[in-house]
Structure 1
């Protein structure tokens, strides 16, 4: 009897097989874990062979044309509660069910990642660690020293569940917190103890500018060359949300002009970032590989949710295989 074929795409962390018990699934199906990014012909070959696709977040874009290659497809599962690169309408038109997992503490994880980036930039941690690993103690040149956040302005573009968490940490550091979003009101900002200001005021007066919006037609490339030029020479632009919010082609030129002075980035137009990307080499950028939601409890939630959905499907599809 033919066994169903399950393809797990985008498990860069090699976490899903470790964090749940796949024994019952492996006994009834062929499971292939793909830990490296699949694109082009390699992705097409997997799609043609798959009865079930498991997608880790939105790391593997699948539009209607590409999904059409998956003629055997009977189920798609993605981790988390949103996938912006999956054409769910195309799947619905073909009657293919789509399931998803819970999130776990992803918002808390992203908030903590935001502050890890901010502190790494302000306290110059990358350079300090490099000096220590090279056997040194202090730089040989007289250079600007690490800064202090207390009393400085934190500007939050977006004040949703993650933005609010970031605001509370900023307040604990003694920072003045201001915010802007397309639908922000003074009353809504005041509920979190922050002040609503115009986007131009936020950009031109904040020491730290942190992005916490979902890209929409009105917010895509929101931080363009003109708005980058408004930022302070000592400002740090932080993005743990989506690269689409920033004109990533304009950002290097803005950094060259010292407006802003630094960027701290966890998200990019192309992921993984190409090995030879100039952004990797800049000393005025703190760069991490999209780690905001990546944490043990979040991936444990993903893994258990995927296994539960697969076990249910295999039980219901017993007469097909």
Structure 2
């Protein structure tokens, strides 16, 4: 049985997941992202099992059609918008996920969100570079205490971010389409209308799931409504924010800066204008990238493969 593990950028999959413990398996681990469907089909030729990392690689009907040997697709996570589950079923491919339970799932992205907030408000990256170049104290930071944290999407991650905001003595406000004042209050936040969320926030942090209703939700009008001193942080999904509008807002000084961990195209192309925007801290989708998180995901991926080989697949994902 041939198994291909995609996108192991850090070269840790074998050690953290124990793939080599699977009997009678030829395991190939790929360390560079493969973007084109033709190149992907070539790389996966003959593989019965593929392990994909999050939503980095789309698996649509045309992809499955190019992979006649594929029988099991394992994805890290239990939701993956890049996989067409109906097409997988039509091509006889079982799709299993991983729950990645434990502290890594519960805190890693919220922690990184605050790393970005602090880096932006205190100009950490700018001052680091200046110091290395021989300059000393080139910026003025901005306090968090007494300012307003706006949380766009108050689910599990948004609630964690909101509670940390309270620890910084920030006023926390929140909005999403289905959020109620009662649910917001339960998380220590105040529900406000969408317009007020953008207008009142000193820090606006995005924590929505990507879907038809949320794609492009943060657009030109929303960015224009924000304070010139405000920052935007997105550790959710890139397409929730209109990136063209964000580039315009940053270059035009509509907002003071942005901290981004997610993008419409990942890895972020070298030519992408976001790379050249002022007052930004850009990270390569690290929200879930911790040793504990990877160990849980890869270990469960190996469990998925073993269960499937035994004829009793687990954590199966199916189209609704």
The TM-score, its normalising length taken from structure 1, stands at 0.92
Contact conserved, 1:107 with 1:293, CA < 8 A, in 2?
no
Matches within 5 A, 1:46-85: 46-85=43-82
Q: Distance in 1 between matches of 2:297 and 2:21?
A: 17
Matched, 1:126 2:122: no
1:180 aligns with 175
Shifted more, 266-275 versus 307-316: the winner is: 307-316
1:114 aligns with 113
1:212 aligns with 207
Aligned-CA RMSD value: 1.5
Contact conserved, 1:207 with 1:235, CA < 8 A, in 2?
yes
Pairwise CA distance, 1:315: 4.3
2:137 aligns with 138
2:315 aligns with none
Matched, 1:247 2:242: yes
1:29 aligns with 25
Q: Distance in 2 between matches of 1:311 and 1:271?
A: 30
Pick from 158, 161, 166: which aligns with 1:166?
161
Q: Distance in 1 between matches of 2:167 and 2:20?
A: 46
SS at match of 1:73: coil
Deviation sequence 1:79-111 (CA, Å, 0-9, x none): 111111011111112332111112232241000
Q: Distance in 2 between matches of 1:23 and 1:244?
A: 37
1:97 aligns with 94
2:7 aligns with 10
Deviation sequence 1:284-319 (CA, Å, 0-9, x none): 1111000011111110001111112222334449xx
Q: Distance in 1 between matches of 2:276 and 2:15?
A: 33
Q: Distance in 2 between matches of 1:82 and 1:269?
A: 18
List gaps (5 residues or longer) in structure 1: none
Shifted more, 230-239 versus 249-258: the winner is: 249-258
Pick from 194, 202, 221: which aligns with 1:199?
194
Pairwise CA distance, 1:136: 3.0
SS at match of 1:189: helix
Matched, 1:307 2:305: no
Matched, 1:190 2:189: no
1:296 aligns with 291
Pick from 149, 154, 157: which aligns with 2:152?
157
Matched, 1:232 2:232: no
Deviation sequence 1:20-55 (CA, Å, 0-9, x none): 323332x51111111111122320112332111111
Pairwise CA distance, 1:15: 2.1
Count of residues in correspondence between the two structures: 309
SS at match of 2:232: strand
Shifted more, 230-239 versus 66-75: the winner is: 66-75
Q: Distance in 2 between matches of 1:50 and 1:184?
A: 44
Deviation sequence 1:151-196 (CA, Å, 0-9, x none): 0000000000000000000000000000000011111111112100
Shifted more, 88-97 versus 130-139: the winner is: 130-139
List gaps (5 residues or longer) in structure 2: 313-320
Matched, 1:38 2:37: no
